[in-house]
Amino acid sequence: MATITPHNGANKGDFAKTVLMPGDPLRAKFIAETYLEDPRLVTGIRNVYGYTGTYGGKRVSVMASGMGNPSIGIYSYELFHFYDVDSIIRVGSAGAYHPDLRLFDIVIGMGACTNSNYAAQFNLPGTFAPIADFGLVRKAVDACEAIGARYMVGNLMSSDVFYDDDPEAWKSWRKMGVLAAEMEAAALYMNAARCGKKALAIDTISDIIGTHEETTPEQRQTAFDQMIRVALSIAE
């Protein structure tokens, strides 16, 4: 049977209405096998794993996005447009800009600044401000409060550059109140806006930019538990 898209081997109906999207395919596998009941692999093209199962009686999917705005741009577009997905919740890592953020804190991305040219395709007569769905933001805040998680709500910086030629560029974003850097939220929010769907990025702080504090891969796998439980609890 021919696949619906070149990048996704799932059939129509294989995905739930809400999809959690970590960047790492192995983290998608870990989330599915650790948190979901009866997880079923629905796609594995290019080893970008997607699973569907249940959590607390709700049908939920999890699929990797890969790294960067272009990659999540492809996968989120296909989920929204071809698989009838209504909400995508990014669950990833971020580097802290804000001085009050600590390792393992949760950042709820109300908006996403970016240095990407992703919005150019929409031919807008100005600058578009990518924002999350407010209902998902509110639910995520309530979920963090309920479990006593440390969190902040505000702007993320979705960068197309990991190794920036200007090592001080992050300070310009920090002075504008941007909380943390990651690489996917802006494209996700733009795709959701374009097709009238819902999106939210929830990130766990994995390193502190400026002080070079960082978590180990082992710590990230276990310490991201709060973020994943928050995301699963707000899945619609």
Give the tens place of pLDDT for each residue, 96-105: 999 999 999 9
- The position carrying tokens 């990230």 is 220
Give the tens place of pLDDT for each residue, 15-54: 999 999 999 999 999 999 999 999 999 999 999 999 999 9
84 classed as catalytic: no
Main-chain phi, psi angles of 5, to 5 degrees = -130, 165
Q: Catalytic: which of 14, 24, 133, 207?
A: 207
Give the tens place of pLDDT for each residue, 154-165: 999 999 999 999
How far apart (Å, rounded) are the C-alpha atoms in residues 24 and 123? 31
| pTM exceeds 0.85 | yes
**Inside any domain, residue 151:** yes
**Inside any domain, residue 222:** yes
- Give me the domain span that covers residue 179: 18-233
Q: How far is CA 100 from CA 51, 65, 106, in A?
A: 36, 29, 12
CATH of the domain at 23: 3.40.50.1580
**Inside any domain, residue 4:** no
**Inside any domain, residue 99:** yes
Residues 187, 73 contacting (CB under 8 angstroms): yes
Total number of domains constituting the chain: 1
**Inside any domain, residue 219:** yes
**Inside any domain, residue 204:** yes
**Inside any domain, residue 146:** yes
The three-class DSSP label of residue 214 is strand
Task: Return the beta strands (E) in the chain as ranges.
Answer: 18-21, 37-43, 50-55, 58-63, 87-96, 106-114, 151-158, 180-182, 198-208, 213-214
